[in-house]
Amino acid sequence: MARQLGFYVNSHACGGCKSCQVACKDKHDLPLGVRWRRVYEVTGGGWQKDGAAWRSTVLAYNLSIACNHCEDPICVSVCPTGAQQKGDDGIVSIDPHRCIGCHYCAWACPYGAPQYDEEAGVMTKCNLCADEVESGGTPACVAACPLRALEFGELETLREKYGNVAAVFPLPSAETTRPAVVFNPHRDAARADAEGARIGNQEEV
Amino acid sequence: MPSWSLILFTLVVQACVGAMVWLEFVRLVPAGQHATEQPDTIRATTMLGVTVGIGAAILISIFHLGSPTKALFALSNLGSSWLSREILLLLLFGGGVVLATFMWRRGWGSESSRILLSRTSAVLGLVLVFVMARLYMLPTAPSWNNAATPISFFAASFVLGGAVVLASMMYGRSATQPPANVRTIILWALVICLGVEIALIPIQAGVLYDHPMVIDHGIRFALLNTLMVVRILSVVVALLLLTKSLRGSLKQPGRWMLPTIVLILLAEVVGRYIFYAFYYSVGV
């Protein structure tokens, strides 16, 4: 089986400080509006009458998402130029010399990974800090997380350590693209979907 | 805000395909008893318009890219990308139409070879419309991944193409009138296709209104409502005018043709605006 690197996201531990997001922008010198990693704030619930009392059902958690370097990446299959490539290490990357900036990958990706660089006229995305990883380092987002809510490594190893959860609200079922990610869902994630929770910071991300 | 270049591109290409299909269909219709002109004079006007339209569509498609200078790379992934296939078919269809137009206008080649090329282009055009629809049917995009996408793309092609041929009949440089039965067939086809578009609206609305992006945002909800009303009204009024024209209950039906064509254009532009503006995918 080919090598597949991936992320582990501990949503239960994430405090939503966005250090990962900032470290990523800093490391890759990303232009305004381009965020390869984003922290989504999921919010929902309210107050529920329970007999004579009112009970709080408020829920809130953070979800740090970048490219999940899917095992079956839809961005690679839809890209008309072949600019989107999946490497031997499982990393999905974009060749800026081939990308024509048609945005088709952005329409197709359910994780919001491909982001358009207006000035360069091409799509860009997380490359799992391939240069750092090659020299034995860790991706900038993982290194920056003060709560150790992010890890990276061989997907098989991550699954052995943390289990097989690859989809958590508001992300889609893992069947479509088989994302190379493992989640430790927040305790509220299970009822977030059922109770119609929303992304609270949609304008920001 | 959707990309106007994509709205224009898809509508212009579909109008060109529809016009080519109608031209070939019209040729198969025997001329009526009182016909004074064969459809080939309609062909000369329409095919010139289609050639200009395809040229404009190719330019629009190139310049909506972030990096237009690398546009030829778009043909690199025919194996799995519907966008690559769309570009290939657009070039084949466009090439066929341009060559056929020159052949008809200059009298190059035998008539049978010109007809063969025109019909091949029309068939390629139909495949192109299917590929255009397939391109949007992404498993991750519920607002597009349903039967309404291909049906509405084909309906738009026949409606816009019919409008182009009707306009050529009425405003082309021809002193004589085309066969009346040809006009009647096109008007009936427009009625049927617009009827299909009306029937699709509940399916499209069901998908579009079932998303938090619309439900949670008052402005988007109001915009979608307004656009839906404009689309339904323009289709219904165009249908009424076409039906009255067919039943002969309009005084001076020729005078109503331009407003009808304008209403059809408005309906298609608004419909395509809704298609792009209210796109949503699963996930984030």
The bridge status of strand A122-124 relative to strand A150-154 is unpaired
**In whole angstroms, what is the distance from residue B153 CA to residue B272 CA?**
9
Going by C-beta distance under 8 Å and a sequence separation of 6 or more, which residues neighbour residue B194?
Answer: B155, B159, B235, B238, B239, B242, B264, B267
ipTM entry: 0.90
Q: How close are the terminal C-alpha atoms of chain B, in Å? A: 18
**Most A CBs within 10 Å: which of B10, B75, B140, as the mutation test of the A interface?**
B140
- Give alpha helix (H) positions in chain B: 4-28, 40-63, 82-106, 111-136, 148-171, 180-208, 212-215, 218-247, 253-277
SS3 A31: coil
Q: Tell if the CB–CB gap between A80 and B74 is shorter than 8 Å.
A: yes
**In whole angstroms, what is the distance from residue B147 CA to residue B144 CA?**
8
For A101, nearest residue in chain B (alpha carbons): B66
**In whole angstroms, what is the distance from residue B230 CA to residue B269 CA?**
11
pTM greater than 0.95: no
Q: pLDDT in tens for each of the 284 residues of chain B? A: 778 999 999 999 999 999 999 988 887 776 555 444 455 667 778 899 999 999 999 999 999 999 999 999 999 999 999 999 999 999 999 999 999 999 988 888 898 999 999 999 999 999 999 999 999 999 999 999 999 999 999 999 999 999 998 888 777 655 455 566 778 888 899 999 999 999 999 888 888 887 766 666 677 788 888 999 999 999 999 999 998 888 877 677 677 888 999 999 999 999 999 999 888 889 98
Of B74, B82, B281, the CB nearest to A81: B74
CB < 8 Å from B in window 28-87 of A? 38, 40, 65, 74, 77-83
Query: Nearest CA of chain A to the CA of B279: how many Å?
Result: 9
Closest to B37 (Cα-Cα) out of B132, B172, B205: B172
CB < 8 Å to B138, chain A: 74, 78, 107-108
Helices (runs of H) and strands (runs of E) counted in chain A = 7, 12
Q: Are B97 and B20 in contact (CB under 8 A)?
A: yes
Q: Are A152 and A128 in contact (CB under 8 A)?
A: yes
